[in-house]
Amino acid sequence: MLNVIELFAGVGGFRIGLERTGHFQVVWGNQWEPSKKAQDAFVCYSTNFKDNGIHSNEDISTVKSEYLPNAEVLVGGFPCQDYSVARSLSGEKGIQGKKGVLFWEIMRLISERQQLGRKPKYVLLENVDRLLKSPSKQRGRDFGIMLAAFHNAGYDVEWRVINAADYGLSQRRRRVFIFAYDRSLKYAKQLSKISNPKILEQDGFFATKFPVTMEFLNTKKITEGNLDEDLVNISDEFKGNFYNSGIMKDGEFISMELTPLKSAPIPLSDILEEEVDEKYYLTEMAKEKFIYLKGSKKVERTSTTGHKYIFSEGGMSLPENMDLPGRTMLTSEGTTNRSTHVVPDKKTGRWRYLTPVECERLNGFPDNWTNTGMSERMRYFCMGNALVVDLITLMGERIHEIEIQEPQIEKSKEKQEEQITLF
């Protein structure tokens, strides 16, 4: 059983996915929403995982790593922010990330855990796929900084952009997953003997659970490079193309555009409830608004400088095509918004919104997971922020496969007792 620290836990998607494998236990989870009185996500998390591990509802920047329990795995879905860095005022004290950027809190905890001899073996993170291209004026800089930070901390890294629907699930949700593993592991040494393309295509962390086809390999979308160990230099100068898969070993990276070997997804019709409350059905006024919002249009607009231009957008299916998986769910789901799903009811055919339970199903959560006292609007919001749990289960199985090949060091009686006290 591997112990896990979960950061930016939300309503517990990482935890559900990992613990479903039977090989992980989350011993400490942190969820804190800044500048909000109602900590709805934390209440949901702590209610569903009551009496199971330590639940932290505090600003992660105030958490002292020496008080955290031992854990071999660190996971989290961190915000996409500006990761630029600069030298500290005194120069010799190294670099400073922008205040409030939560990725640097991940790296702080890892560094402090390393000093205590408790460095996580594995780190699994999730983010929006635009991370690979940001910022627009210095493409790839932010991800290059992240890779270099992991390299400096003693990790190699593999990443993959995964669309959940490509691998048999019910939502077309694309996210980048980042798997960092300690370079001292047997797994890392084994990969050092395999070519990088073969790792990405067949033998690596992601390819075994999320297979790809070589049939449509785009040889123009391959890039390689070396990362400067000086994060400030990367912040100031680095530009690069990072594609939907890649690996960094000992500071050298290759990134390739790979094509998923797709399996049939779950159609939207399969996740709908049979009986829903009348409040979810659209009024005639709401139907008219959706017809406009989802229709194709060309509208003359005026910019802030007074320049007139034509804004245009294509039409969207109305109602949704029930034979396809759902589109990417956003935090605005359930409102009169272009991105909101409008579905024909199974029994009546009337147009309606998705229910909170159906949104939970789109992400692979148990029914009514978020029904813990928060408002319905927050239930939609939490699911718009969540990840697809089933993907994490597959990744958890892969971590377990890697871990059972590692030399196992027997835990001391003292450490065993420490784990017992957590539950």
Return the amino acid letter for 79.
P
Span 270-293, average pLDDT: 96
The whole-angstrom separation of Cα 372 and Cα 379 is 9
pLDDT bin (cut points 50, 70, 90) of residue 91 is low
- pLDDT number for residue 301: 87
Claim to verify: residue 281 and residue 195 sit in the same structural domain: no
* Residues with catalytic function: 80
Span 248-262, average pLDDT: 95
Phi, psi of 400 (to 5 degrees): -60, -40
Contact criterion met (CB below 8 Å) for 361 and 271:
yes
Claim to verify: residue 273 and residue 405 sit in the same structural domain: no
Claim to verify: residue 316 and residue 241 sit in the same structural domain: no
Let me know the angle formed at the C-alpha of 84 by 152 and 82, rounded to the nearest 5 degrees: 120
Number of domains in the chain: 2
Q: Which of 5-19, 53-67, 213-227, 337-351 has the lowest mean pLDDT?
A: 213-227
**In this structure, what CATH number is given to the domain that contains residue 359?**
3.90.120
Claim to verify: residue 395 and residue 249 sit in the same structural domain: yes
The whole-angstrom separation of Cα 16 and Cα 11 is 9
Residue 180 in tokens? 């960092």
Q: Give the domain extent around 210.
A: 2-261+388-420
User: In the predicted model, what is the mean pLDDT of the chain?
Assistant: 91
The whole-angstrom separation of Cα 275 and Cα 345 is 9
Q: Name the E strands within 228-296.
A: 245-249, 252-256, 259-260
**Other residues' Cβ atoms within 10 Å of the Cβ of residue 155:** 24
Residue with tokens 């940001």: 134
Claim to verify: residue 27 and residue 99 sit in the same structural domain: yes
What does the buried/exposed string (b/e) look like for 393-406 if buried means 16 or more CB atoms within 10 Å of the residue's CB?
Answer: bbbbbbbbebbeee
Claim to verify: residue 255 and residue 287 sit in the same structural domain: no
Claim to verify: residue 22 and residue 119 sit in the same structural domain: yes
Q: Which of 299-313, 349-363, 395-409 has the highest mean pLDDT?
A: 349-363
Span 396-405, average pLDDT: 97
pLDDT at 95 over 60: no
Contact criterion met (CB below 8 Å) for 30 and 7:
yes
Claim to verify: residue 281 and residue 161 sit in the same structural domain: no
**Share above pLDDT 70 across residues of the chain, in percent, rounded to a whole number:** 92
Span 181-202, average pLDDT: 95
pLDDT bin (cut points 50, 70, 90) of residue 98 is low
- Those residues whose C-beta lies under 8 Å from the C-beta of residue 62, and which sit 6 or more positions away, are none
The whole-angstrom separation of Cα 386 and Cα 396 is 17
Q: Which of 84-93, 220-229, 303-312, 342-351 has the highest mean pLDDT?
A: 342-351
Claim to verify: residue 214 and residue 312 sit in the same structural domain: no
pLDDT bin (cut points 50, 70, 90) of residue 258 is very high
- pLDDT number for residue 408: 78
Please state whether the predicted TM-score (pTM) of the whole model is above 0.85. yes
Phi, psi of 53 (to 5 degrees): 85, 180
- Those residues whose C-beta lies under 8 Å from the C-beta of residue 36, and which sit 6 or more positions away, are none
Residue with tokens 């797709």: 262
Span 150-172, average pLDDT: 97
**In this structure, what CATH number is given to the domain that contains residue 401?**
3.40.50.150
The whole-angstrom separation of Cα 245 and Cα 210 is 11
Claim to verify: residue 161 and residue 283 sit in the same structural domain: no
Claim to verify: residue 69 and residue 206 sit in the same structural domain: yes
- pLDDT number for residue 346: 92
List, in sequence order, the alpha helices (H) in 238-341: 284-294
**Share above pLDDT 90 across residues of the chain, in percent, rounded to a whole number:** 78
Claim to verify: residue 110 and residue 146 sit in the same structural domain: yes
pLDDT bin (cut points 50, 70, 90) of residue 80 is confident
Q: Which of 122-126, 401-405, 407-411 has the lowest mean pLDDT?
A: 407-411
Span 24-31, average pLDDT: 97
